[in-house]
Structure 1
């Protein structure tokens, strides 16, 4: 190599870029509250995908704050009336909202009309410049919620349009095919299991282009469930959990009656997602 010849090119490896958010508020119903992912060490006794997202966002951000206003059983209008004002008062720069699923389950739940109300809600949430993340509904074809699969698909298309209109972020659970695995669902077949919440959290972080430590699913090999076994478990879930849900609807009751938000004020979060010493 002569003096005029260039030396070998060294490829530069970019360092992970820190995310721009400092205060995260989660809005929604039982899904965002974390039902199906019980953990006695978590605030409210349930962890859930939103907690897992907050844990990862807290890495190397010791002042990062997180509030979760979600309450099980809430309809879209209740979320609008009870959670949006308090959420905006907390001045978040990141907001997630998953709403409308309970409305779709109601007789006559119209995905287009529900989406119209969500459209107005997302516009309000983005007023102060916060990043708004909307989660689509999952493909429920193999669960006791299969009867609303078509309505969920229509609602999701509306949701993607809303996200584009308001420069929001659509985190697509429908496209997350891992959620078709029965292991992703809790015993009630209505909510996600800890494994499901973990998988959804990783998807949300990937959608936000955030570096995280949630590894892709690598479960131990389990005996494959036969069609008959999976179906019988669905019947058990329907009898023990879905039927009581229907009875509450007929009595105009909600699983969230008397329940308050588990994290009404933003605060630091410490848990398995935090690096050693972060809570010191």
Structure 2
């Protein structure tokens, strides 16, 4: 899978958004997915594209021009045009766009994804509405809420980290909310990191009550002043930010360590006796989870993300929001009872045992796939003025045993000569049949497609022949030859296809509908509106007839010229491989994505010599047109009856029993 990750924040500014982005990049790349990160550049000296970053990543990173926030210069706000971001995405050909804590750059990312009909997964990580209220900008909170609602309503899926975030966004009218938390590095953050020498250097002989995080107004660190005069307790503040100078004045007895990272941070957390977090606008609160992993009991406000992380009276306490006397009492309860503190600490470590980035990464990939299923349905619903569906269940493979492919030259396999004898072609449908035959004792496959055929040939010849063969699966990939003709009516053509689909479905057979697509060439743009209108109608047909849909029109990779043969109108072997595995995914074939990647890595296509296109393809086509002929005249289907594919081995011809 190819994932474009548009992040509102990135290196070198380390925060919760950056941390989760790095974890997901590491997970995705470790499983063979390709990742593009688009983020604000860190300053005027940063390159705008492909800049290597300190995380050691070697894949694509595109940094967009940005400006610092006036009150918080470490945070950068990117300002690219939608057109520029769309070009970046188009060049990468993502299967899904991941919007990390979207607001400014994320809005542009959503616009660009919509322009390219790409599915988006928006991850809600920052409560910008609460931030606007906290910073006291007049009228900012309602504007921020409206913007958040508008953005997330357009996203294909929105992932929320906690029940409070889910309730908040549901209150804004946002649908398609899915729960996705944060993983924790339980190897890095663990009780064994506790360091008595570090403790003695901070405050010898005293218990340490610590906070770790950004020192900014929304974190409400000043509330910790009620802990400064507890006998035998030292307040330790780990972190930095725009509020540090003010906090040092208001909390004179506290120890401020400044920013700590890596091993030093893990040591500090494990060396606390109690961890405190007073911020009420946390959508998740990763530092609470890291403290729990370090075996440290937590006292946090009973609002926002901590509500789902801290089990009151088990591994910590949740105090009443805004009640600082309750905060002090909860800390006193733990600092005054060594046995309770140890018991809570052991329970804290146990609570995060299953919250690994590994499991969260796999869950995220599942959400990506769900977004891919939803996006074509969304487009069809939106353009017809209908509400979008809440969910589309993933396809499950059925025990198909008779598959018939209908279509024109693309389904015939023209130009796919991979491992074929001279003059013979393979094609995506042949490849799909081999995939469907896996784990079947016997699988029958026919391909009635012939080059140059049109929708009328589908209705009059191919469909009746297919029905006579009693298939249980039929693929229909037809219409491109009609759409490039003079005066083509996409809606009327789709209605003819709809009649065929309904006739096949009436027999109980399943149908896989494939929407035609175009290469990314200037000459093809004149047909774009027709192809888009036709694809829209086929999406409707698929939804109304409960058919499977391979929406080639929303797969940008299929437009890549590297997928197309030198005649510029047919797919080369690489394109047929890609289409076959996308079709397998649409039909629910297990591990189709992985199999496709392995298959593609084992093949390489050879290009025709430069300049051969005019001589080999363009001039013969013009000559045929002048004589009123087509390339398919006199040709018959390559598999006009079933061939048997036993367990995926080479096909042999056999009559249907």
TM over 0.5: yes
Change in CA separation of 1:118 and 1:243 when aligned onto 2, cut-off 3 Å: farther
User: Which has more strand, going by share of residues?
Assistant: 2
In structure 2, the gaps of 5 or more residues are: 1-352, 360-395, 605-609, 651-657
Report the alpha carbon displacement of residue 19 of structure 1 after superposing the two structures with TM: 3.4
Query: For residue 191 of structure 1, what is the aligned residue in structure 2?
Result: 570
Report the alpha carbon displacement of residue 125 of structure 1 after superposing the two structures with TM: 1.9
Task: Give the Cα separation in 1 of the matches to 2:583 and 2:543.
Answer: 17
Does residue 48 of structure 1 match 2:422? Answer: no
Report the alpha carbon displacement of residue 44 of structure 1 after superposing the two structures with TM: 7.1
Query: For residue 83 of structure 1, what is the aligned residue in structure 2?
Result: 462
Query: For residue 257 of structure 1, what is the aligned residue in structure 2?
Result: 633
- Please give the per-residue CA displacement for 1:87-113, whole angstroms capped at 9, x wherever unaligned: 011110000011111001111112122
User: TM-score, normalization: structure 2?
Assistant: 0.35
2:597 to 194, 216, 220: 216
Q: Which structure exhibits the higher relative contact order, with contacts defined as CA atoms closer than 8 Å and separated by 6 or more residues? A: 1
Q: Secondary structure at the match of 2:403?
A: strand
Q: Secondary structure at the match of 2:487?
A: coil
Task: Give the Cα separation in 1 of the matches to 2:588 and 2:470.
Answer: 22
Task: Give the Cα separation in 2 of the matches to 1:148 and 1:200.
Answer: 21
Task: Give the Cα separation in 1 of the matches to 2:496 and 2:516.
Answer: 16
Query: For residue 648 of structure 2, what is the aligned residue in structure 1?
Result: 274
Report the alpha carbon displacement of residue 140 of structure 1 after superposing the two structures with TM: 2.9
- Please give the per-residue CA displacement for 1:246-274, whole angstroms capped at 9, x wherever unaligned: 4433432111111111111112137xx93
Q: For 1:3-42, what aligned pairs fall within 5 Å after superposition?
A: 19-39=398-418, 41=420
Structure possessing the higher radius of gyration over alpha carbons? 2
Q: For 1:29-178, what aligned pairs fall within 5 Å after superposition?
A: 29-39=408-418, 41=420, 45-142=424-521, 144-178=523-557
Superposition CA RMSD, Å:
3.0
Task: Give the Cα separation in 2 of the matches to 1:143 and 1:38.
Answer: 27
Task: Give the Cα separation in 2 of the matches to 1:195 and 1:78.
Answer: 28
Q: Secondary structure at the match of 1:55?
A: helix
Report the alpha carbon displacement of residue 152 of structure 1 after superposing the two structures with TM: 0.6
Which moves more between the two structures, 241-250 or 62-71? 241-250
Task: Give the Cα separation in 2 of the matches to 1:275 and 1:265.
Answer: 18
Contact 1:145 1:190 in 2 (8 A): no
Change in CA separation of 1:51 and 1:37 when aligned onto 2, cut-off 3 Å: same
Contact 1:43 1:262 in 2 (8 A): no
- Please give the per-residue CA displacement for 1:194-217, whole angstroms capped at 9, x wherever unaligned: 000000000001011112463227
Task: Give the Cα separation in 2 of the matches to 1:34 and 1:98.
Answer: 12
Q: Secondary structure at the match of 2:620?
A: helix
Query: For residue 116 of structure 2, what is the aligned residue in structure 1?
Result: none
Does residue 203 of structure 1 match 2:582? Answer: yes
Task: Give the Cα separation in 1 of the matches to 2:644 and 2:524.
Answer: 35
Report the alpha carbon displacement of residue 43 of structure 1 after superposing the two structures with TM: 11
User: TM-score, normalization: structure 1?
Assistant: 0.80
Change in CA separation of 1:240 and 1:145 when aligned onto 2, cut-off 3 Å: farther
Change in CA separation of 1:243 and 1:134 when aligned onto 2, cut-off 3 Å: farther
Q: Secondary structure at the match of 2:404?
A: strand
Find runs of 4+ consecutive structure 1 residues off by over 6 angstroms: none
Task: Give the Cα separation in 2 of the matches to 1:261 and 1:43.
Answer: 17
Report the alpha carbon displacement of residue 244 of structure 1 after superposing the two structures with TM: 3.2
Contact 2:520 2:560 in 1 (8 A): no
Report the alpha carbon displacement of residue 45 of structure 1 after superposing the two structures with TM: 0.9
Task: Give the Cα separation in 1 of the matches to 2:636 and 2:419.
Answer: 17
